[in-house]
Amino acid sequence: MLRSLNLNLSGGIHIQMMERQSGIFIGERNVAIGWSSHGKENSVIGNISGQSNLLLNNISILNDPDLVDTPIDDRDINISFENPGDENTTTNINLEGINVNRIEQNSSIFLGKAHVNGMDANQKTNTSQGAVLGHNNQQLSNLNLNNDQDLVDTFIDDRDIKVANVEREI
């Protein structure tokens, strides 16, 4: 069996922001089975990034009086089979560098052979304004309200059967 990975990364990996359930996989054999990520987030303003941002005289109010808040049922069944591989592969990857500004939720970057199964992310997010990105943004005298009057909020029923067939070397 001939199986080889030649990875030449001369510059490096630079990441500015990664969200939940994200990843960077580098190698000859990347196996990720049964990923799960669940949650609820309330944010009135959200993330602020960049340079010279000005927020002045803001009033932020968050009111979330749920009787039951984010019940999660995540009874996954993860099954992985490893089968003998018969591939003769040679992989050459030459990169000067990897630059990532932002990886959103449930996203990945793969270099090399990857077997990914079962990635799931469930989330409820309330944002009155959202993210502020960039340079020289200004916000003056804003009023941000978030009112979430649910009796049962964000019921997540994520019962999956996840089956992966992964080849392996003999």
The burial class, CB within 10 Å (0-12 / 13-18 / 19+), for 156 is middle
Domain count, the chain: 1
Count of other CB atoms within 10 angstroms of residue 73: 10
Q: What is the pLDDT of residue 169?
A: 54
- Domain encompassing residue 64: 3-168
pLDDT tens-place values along the chain, 170 residues long: 456 667 777 778 888 878 777 888 877 777 777 777 777 887 777 777 778 888 788 888 888 888 888 888 888 887 777 666 555 566 677 778 888 888 877 778 887 777 777 777 777 777 777 777 777 878 788 887 778 887 887 777 877 777 766 665 55
Distance CA 93, CA 112 (A): 8
Q: Which residue type occupies 54? A: L
Residues in the chain: 170
Q: What is the pLDDT of residue 4?
A: 66
pTM: 0.58
Count of other CB atoms within 10 angstroms of residue 111: 19
Structure tokens at 47: 């993330």
Q: What is the pLDDT of residue 74?
A: 82
Q: Which residue type occupies 58? A: N
